[in-house]
Amino acid sequence: MDAQAQQAASTPSSTEELPTVTVAGDNAPANALEATTGISRIPGTIQDTPQTITVISQETMQQQGVTTLEQALRNVPGVTASSGEGNGGMNGDQFRIRGFQANGDIYVDGLRDFGSYTRDSFAFESVEVFKGSSSENFGMGTTGGAINITQKEAHLGDKYDFEGQIGNGPLYRVVGDVNKQIDDTTAVRFVGMYTEQDLVDRDYMYKDRYGFLGAVGFGLGTDQTLHLNIFYQDGDGQTDMGVPFATRSTGVSLPVTEYPGVSRSNYYGKETDKDNYDVTMFTAKYRNEVNEWLTITNDSRLAYYNRYYTQSAASCAAITCGNFVVNGNPNVPYTLGGPAGFDQETYGGQNITTAIADFNIGGFRNQFVAGVDLFFQNDARSYFTNVPSTKTVGTVADPSFYNSNSFYVYDSGLNLRRSQATNSAIFASDRFWFVDTVSLLAAGRFDNYNINYETSSTGGKRPAPNVPGWTDYDSHSSFFSPSLSLIWEPTKEQTYYVSWGKSYTPPGGNVAVTPNPLSATSALEPESNETAEIGAKFSLLDGKLGLTGALFRTIKGNAYYFNDATQLFDQTGDKQRVQGVELGATGNLTDAWTVQAAYTYLDSEITYSPTASNIGNEVNYAPRNSASIWTTYDVAKHWFTQIPGELLVGGGISYTDGYYTNTANTSWVPETFSLDALVSYKQGNYRFAVNGYNLTDELNYVAGFNNRAVVGTGRAVVFTVGATF
């Protein structure tokens, strides 16, 4: 199934308070520029923030029938999946923003979501995508940007919402959302979800999951609030490592499904390939508006992740397979390789304390933000062995799903990996208004990151250092991430800005989503990244419609890549440049017509590489053009006024150019195109909807990874019934 979407309008004076507009379900503004950023340490609205920010609202996700983060992000051009949701993928949700890896840049309520899993949307209030280097706000990584999920929370008032979906595949899904006010300032909320899904036109692929969110809010509507929640999700599915590229002796390789005689439904994994996980996450958010000029927030998280993961990675080498497929003969065997899989236990925690002060100095307004960010991660894995070591295979045209009766996946308990990482950081920013319409925002963050990585081939607990069979790797990185922005707001409807920022990505920065975070990389220096952006944001039609535009340029130095063959990171010393254009529109064109549209153009180049032949190549996973549009019209308002209630007719298009999956530019994922549609009717407390996805039944690829591509679903139709009280 597919999905689409996008973004504070105020001109502060020395005495004027910045308005706060909360993104919360039915109260979310149609013009997302009027929404807050969703993160307590980034005050203000989207229009007031000098950065490209795309918001996918609750309304858009409901209209599109979005069920996962990956589907929601199809509304954001410039974001690609590199082996992501359900769609499978080595490490759960994996995304790239503007061509740069973002698998460690996923946040929930501004706090790190450490784990590796498919994120269901049942607990989402909205999704915000911050584009460009953002380390001054988020810490390490964020070369291309950061993804933040704003979760549902308890609120004042009673509300009961239930929704059921059924579709081809088949798909069965139910979600219940109950909010209950306890007293004048206290409320509780419970959201539950259950989903069973077989993917359309994908043999053997299924994704089942269930979960719940329990939340309580204290002090609601007062100057001092505390939100507590527990989130749990359990998933069970068939691993999808994608279809192999038909490697050629000469020329660019394409997925085997691009050639005659190879069905899009083919599955090249085995019956033993499973991706089973569970996530338990505790979050506390405290906010104290101490007085009219000072606000203090404290956000904390403790999270646990478990994962059982087995895989089979298919390949189609040129001499034995690829050349035959390209020449019209798919009746040749492929090969299966890669690690057998692992059993993983991960836990982590984070605490961020922030002070936000609005005050005047000599008649000039200042907004000062400062805080401390502490987090830790621990990851333990036991790697499996295939017995026997080789698996039975079929042909490219007719792959084999079942193993021999003697085959099994074995956990010897000997091949172990353990990672421990800690980070401490301080951050500060100051926005200084020279006059009511012109301000300068300067920010900086200092991080101190440490990681220890241990490997063993003998198993067992490690009683002391330097025990035979265990190998240690350590890395320490300290780095300062600055940013600077000049902002001009001639009216409350207009914002113009010029921004510059620098970010760093240390080796082993995301232990929960990296098979071997150090080994070959302990001596590597952090990647360094710089982004410059010039942009404008406009609110039109009395604030009902928001328009955005930006030009940007990102330069990455000291690049390293994950090597699919060795399961290690290789530092190439490459330098990369990605520059381009971002355009967006969101809001109401009339009282009945809504639109959310975006376009991204990426011009990428490897400007230096020790491999001379790579110089001048495009950066991998950076499609040149990508666009999305989603629009709805309430025909009951003007055309069929005799019909009571709301009758929405809508649809959208998402398009992404093809892109290379390696720096040599020898493997290519073709373009994707999806035409989607919606008809929904809402009367009183009830809502009925039918969604169509990929109506032209295109052969699409929803993710790529080195020498494989993940085939998307075929044409799908989903019926929804909902009730709200």
Q: What pLDDT is stored for residue 89 in this prediction?
A: 36
**pLDDT (mean) for 134-148:** 90
For the ranges 79-93, 388-402, 570-584, which has the lowest average pLDDT?
79-93
3-state secondary structure of 237: strand
Strands (E) located in 332-413: 335-337, 341-361, 364-383, 385-387, 408-410
Percentage with pLDDT > 70 across the chain: 90
Q: What pLDDT is stored for residue 509 in this prediction?
A: 77
What is residue 6's DSSP assignment? B
Q: Which amino acid, residue 379?
A: D
Q: What pLDDT is stored for residue 217 in this prediction?
A: 98
> Left (φ > 0), alpha (ψ -120 to 50) or beta: where does 47 sit?
alpha
pLDDT at 414 over 60: yes
Q: What pLDDT is stored for residue 339 in this prediction?
A: 86
pLDDT band at 560 (very low <50, low <70, confident <90, very high): low
Which has more pLDDT, 597 or 84? 597
Q: What pLDDT is stored for residue 7 in this prediction?
A: 35
Separation between Cα atoms, residue 214 and residue 452, nearest integer Å? 35
Q: What pLDDT is stored for residue 526 in this prediction?
A: 78
Q: What pLDDT is stored for residue 606 in this prediction?
A: 95
**pLDDT (mean) for 510-528:** 68
Indicate the burial class of 26 (C-beta count within 10 angstroms; 0-12, 13-18, 19 or more): exposed
Indicate the burial class of 422 (C-beta count within 10 angstroms; 0-12, 13-18, 19 or more): middle
Separation between Cα atoms, residue 35 and residue 128, nearest integer Å? 10
Both structure tokens of 137: 């706000």
What's the pTM?
0.91
For the ranges 426-435, 481-490, 507-516, which has the lowest average pLDDT?
507-516
Q: What pLDDT is stored for residue 557 in this prediction?
A: 84
pLDDT at 244 over 70: yes
Q: What pLDDT is stored for residue 515 in this prediction?
A: 67
Residues 260-291 pLDDT 10s? 999 999 999 999 999 999 999 999 999 999 99
Per residue, the 3-state secondary structure of 482-536, as one string, reads: EEEEEEECCCCCEEEEEEEEEEEECCCCCHHHCCCCCHHHCCCCCEEEEEEEEEE
Q: What pLDDT is stored for residue 13 in this prediction?
A: 37
pLDDT at 90 over 70: no
**pLDDT (mean) for 97-117:** 90
**pLDDT (mean) for 329-353:** 94
CB 400 within 8 A of CB 394: yes
Both structure tokens of 273: 């390939």
pLDDT at 512 over 90: no
Residues 594-633 pLDDT 10s? 999 999 999 999 999 989 999 999 999 999 999 999 999 9
Radius of gyration of the chain (CA): 25
Number of CB atoms found within 10 A of residue 647's CB: 18
**pLDDT (mean) for 332-336:** 95
Architecture of domain 25-724 in this structure = Beta Barrel (2.40)
pLDDT band at 8 (very low <50, low <70, confident <90, very high): very low
Q: What pLDDT is stored for residue 14 in this prediction?
A: 36
Q: What pLDDT is stored for residue 102 in this prediction?
A: 86
pLDDT at 405 over 80: yes
Residues 283-292 pLDDT 10s? 999 999 999 9
Q: Say which residues have a Cβ less than 8 Å from residue 30's Cβ, sequence separation at least 6.
A: 59, 544, 586, 587, 588, 594
Number of CB atoms found within 10 A of residue 364's CB: 13
Q: Which residues of 292-316 are buried (b: 16+ CB within 10 A; e: fewer)?
A: eeebbbbbbbebbbbbbbbbbbbbb
Q: Which residues of 259-275 are buried (b: 16+ CB within 10 A; e: fewer)?
A: beebbbebbbbbebbbb
Measured CA to CA in angstroms, residue 269 lies from 244, 458, 679, 709 at distances of 11, 29, 37, 13
Separation between Cα atoms, residue 646 and residue 707, nearest integer Å? 47
Which has more pLDDT, 68 or 25? 68
3-state secondary structure of 402: coil
pLDDT at 570 over 90: no
Q: What pLDDT is stored for residue 497 in this prediction?
A: 98
pLDDT band at 639 (very low <50, low <70, confident <90, very high): confident
pLDDT at 35 over 90: no
Q: What pLDDT is stored for residue 510 in this prediction?
A: 79
Q: Is cis: bond before 388, omega within 30 of 0?
A: yes
* The most confident of 84-93, 557-566, 692-701, by mean pLDDT: 692-701
pLDDT at 40 over 70: yes
Q: Can you spell out the DSSP letters for 164-205?
A: EEEETTTEEEEEEEEEEEEETTEEEEEEEEEEEEBPTT-TT-
Angle at 510 between CA 509 and CA 514, to 5 degrees: 115
Q: What pLDDT is stored for residue 36 in this prediction?
A: 87
> Could you tell me the residue ranges of all domains in the chain?
25-724
Mean pLDDT for the chain overall: 89
Q: What pLDDT is stored for residue 724 in this prediction?
A: 96
Separation between Cα atoms, residue 564 and residue 76, nearest integer Å? 27
* The most confident of 27-36, 73-82, 94-103, 593-602, by mean pLDDT: 593-602
End-to-end CA distance of the chain: 28
pLDDT at 687 over 50: yes
Separation between Cα atoms, residue 32 and residue 53, nearest integer Å? 10
Residues 165-211 pLDDT 10s? 999 999 999 999 999 999 999 999 999 999 999 999 999 999 999 99
Element (H, E) at 324: helix 323-326
pLDDT at 458 over 80: no
3-state secondary structure of 372: strand
Separation between Cα atoms, residue 141 and residue 503, nearest integer Å? 7
What is residue 36's DSSP assignment? B
Both structure tokens of 254: 């394409």
Question: Phi, psi (5° rounding) for residue 636?
Answer: -75, -20
Both structure tokens of 554: 């990102």
Residues 642-669 pLDDT 10s? 889 999 999 999 999 999 999 999 999 9
Q: What pLDDT is stored for residue 720 in this prediction?
A: 98
Separation between Cα atoms, residue 208 and residue 171, nearest integer Å? 10
